[in-house]
Structure formats: C-alpha cells, structure tokens
Amino acid sequence: MKATETKLSVTLESNFQSVEVAEKFVHSAMDRFRLEEAESHRVEMAVRESVINAIQHGNRCDESKKVELEINLTPAKLTIFVRDEGQGFDPASIANPLEENNILKSSGRGIFIIRSFMDEFSVRRRHNDGSEVMMVKRLSSNSNSNSS
C-alpha cells in the first residue's frame, strides 16, 4: 500500500443490524478523514444504500453469507467497495425513478441516490465469488488535508 493511501475494511453479517454497523464504521472513517459534513453525509448515505442492497438483494438476507465493506482514501479520492456473495445485477436494468410512471413508487431509489451522491459507480461480477460495487468520491484539495 502506498504511504499516502489509507485502507479500512470491515466484514458484516447479512442482517439489517449490519446497516447500522456499516453506518457507524463509515461515519467514524469520515471523521478520521476530515471530510466536510455535507460530503460526508452523501458518502455515508451511498454506503448505507449499497450495504442494504448487498444484504437484501445480493445475499438475500442469508446469514451464512457476508458483506465486505472496504474504504480506500488517497489525497485525490475516496474509493469504497461493497462486496456480497450474490449474483450481482445490471445497473442498466434498474428503472429510472424520475420517470412519470415510477415517481410514486415506494421503492427503487437506492441506486439513483448512490449515483447522485458519488462521482463514479460500477458493479462487477467477481469470478464465482459474488459481486462488487465500487463507488468513488473525488476529493477537493482541502477535503482531507488534516487526515493522518
């Protein structure tokens, strides 16, 4: 690992108590990285939505399966991985929640929120090993200048 890179990770159970664990983990990391409050909130929310998806849709709440949350920070960007043991999904297949027919639906906004709050979002299938969501937030030059 490069000297300027900080890496944190946690393994989560596939239950909804883990959402709170992930939230506290990320909140603590954001405090450590000294991100601005508004930016921090967006990252925390993106992670929360992603972890819920991993538990609910990826691992289908199977408690024998785990979710891995990994945060990598460099001076230029924050990269977050959420890995599950499910079959993955095609983000292109998710309906646009802004369309007239969808706007009053009670679900289907999670991925849209992640995309809105992060600079990059991608999903890939890991070889025989579940799926991985990658989210990137590019950092302004003074976002994390005090982290060490």
CA distances from 110 to 74, 95, 118 (A): 26, 11, 12
CA distances from 9 to 79, 81, 82, 120, 142 (A): 12, 9, 10, 20, 24
The least CB distance from residue 41 to other proteins, in Å, is 6
Q: Which stretch binds other proteins (CB under 8 A): 58-66, 107-115, 125-133, 136-144?
A: 107-115
Residue 132 backbone phi and psi in degrees, to 5: -135, 125
Residue from 64, 101, 107, 142 in contact with other proteins (CB under 8 A): 107
Pattern 116-135, other proteins, x by CB under 8 A:
x-------------------
Judge residue 140's burial from the number of C-beta atoms within 10 Å of its C-beta, 0-12 exposed, 13-18 middle, 19 or more buried: exposed
Residue from 49, 84, 85, 132 in contact with other proteins (CB under 8 A): 49
Interface contacts to other proteins, rule CB under 8 A:
16, 19, 41, 45, 48-49, 52, 97-98, 103-107, 109-110, 112-113, 116
